[in-house]
Amino acid sequence: MNNSGMFLPRALERPLAALVQRLIPSPTLRHAVIPVFMVILVMGSGILLREITLASLPLTTVNNLTIVPILPEDSPLAAETIRGIVTASKTGEVPFLKGDKDYLGYLMPVDYVMQGMIADTGGHSHLFKQHHTVALIIDWVFHPFAHLRSSPMAHMAAMMGVDPAVARRRHCPSGLDLPEMSCDTCPYRRVILVEVDHGQAGHISGSSLLASGTVRTPVGFIDLDTQTGKIVQIKPVAKDTAWKDVPTPDI
């Protein structure tokens, strides 16, 4: 313990400690200032990173609907996606979209592995109810980014030793089973819509929908062809996520 640094290697801590002692000679004052400085540094860094993230999101807005793609490569699909949803909304096909409310839509593959954290879209998003939890956790530990970008069906297929392409096509949450459709080039996407309550008059859009003072409530999801805007299915959802009362990050 005497030869190890408390937070950093001892070789780095010694010069930093000497600098702090010169800047704040009083031990009492130093013991009061350092914890406050650490809190400000940590919280300030978090706020800064959040603002940088919000500023980098590829948001697309039409009227009272804003679309944010979950995967960067889906950004070019946002324009046709939001056009199809707005058109369907004008004809009354989307009952949970109301003109006096503001909505945020998360654009993702129909079998995106973490969609249950946004809304309860059905059994495919209830990974915690399936009997592969340990294997999925291990896969996430060793391949965190690949795991999030892969579908539950791909994971299940790998565990069961079957063809992932066939498994994904036959168990696609959108109900499509098209032999000519390749999962690698699939044009179908899911948009999970949440209603945003910002407690003020007028409409807000873009990154304002993700502000810390807003309340986001799931209302439904839409599966559609992002090349044509044709809608495959529209379903309302409950107000809670697939994890019910289990605490989850606020997405």
DSSP string, 42-100: HHHHHHHHHHHHHHH---EEETTEEEEESSGGGGGGHHHHHHHHHHHHHTT--TT--TT
pLDDT truncated to tens, each residue of the chain (251 aa)?
A: 878 887 788 888 888 888 888 888 888 888 888 889 889 999 999 999 999 999 999 999 998 999 999 988 889 999 989 999 998 988 888 999 988 899 999 999 887 877 888 888 876 666 555 555 666 677 777 777 776 666 655 665 665 666 666 656 666 667 776 766 666 677 889 999 999 998 877 888 889 999 888 899 999 999 998 888 888 889 999 888 777 776 666 65
pTM over 0.75: yes
Per the DSSP assignment, residues forming a β-bridge with 68 are 106
As a whole number of angstroms, the distance between CA 177 and CA 3 comes to 63
| 59-127+184-236: CATH number | 3.10.450
